[in-house]
Amino acid sequence: MNISPDEFGKLFTSFEREAFRLETLDDYSKSGGVDAYRAFLAGEPQPAAYKSAGWVTTVREATQAGKRMYRVHVLARPLSDYLRFELGWGYVRNQEAGEEFFILDTTDEPNPLSDAPDFWAFDEWTVVTMRYGDGGEFLGAELVPEKQAHEWLERRDAAMSHAVPFRDWWELHKPA
């Protein structure tokens, strides 16, 4: 069942314990932070507005309330321009607000989640899958029936069992 952008957005403030995201794409450049991405590509400093964007506030409020927000990004090296931006600017910024990041690097290993689309899981009963077009354009989201949530939580658990903390991975693979 399709979920409206407003309904989807409300999930980020109404969840009670945890929100998990699986990211599987190399490019989300048309889905947010577009101006910051352009600045990154141009070699400009990180815009002040990007450092305190709405997502940072959402994460900070949730984590200060004792909720967990975390994600796994499935990727392979070499990193796309967008991933260098997302990890170097976005993840570092969001960590400071309390979000946790993990990397499932498939460069030298098979991808155990090759069939999984991007999704968010909220409190282990609400799962929303996400659709993207070419170039990372967000096309919409679909609410998964609650009786199927366990299938998505198994994907979450598989991702976490194969992933490493972002900080550790970044220390080894951060672009020069």
CATH number of the domain enclosing 55: 3.30.870.10
What pLDDT sits at residue 53? Answer: 77
Its domain, for residue 83, covers 7-173
* Crossing angle for the helix pair 5-14 and 54-64, to the nearest 10 degrees: 30
pLDDT (tens digit per residue) in 24-38:
999 999 998 889 999
pLDDT (tens digit per residue) in 87-116:
999 999 999 999 999 999 999 999 999 999
Q: Are 89 and 36 in contact (CB under 8 A)?
A: yes
142 falls in which pLDDT band (50, 70, 90)?
A: very high
Whether residue 135 is contained in a domain is answered as yes
What pLDDT sits at residue 134? Answer: 86
Whether residue 41 is contained in a domain is answered as yes
Whether residue 1 is contained in a domain is answered as no
Whether residue 144 is contained in a domain is answered as yes
Whether residue 2 is contained in a domain is answered as no
Token pair belonging to 63: 């984590």
What pLDDT sits at residue 173? Answer: 96
Domain count, the chain: 1
Rounded CA-CA distance 82/117 in Å is 18
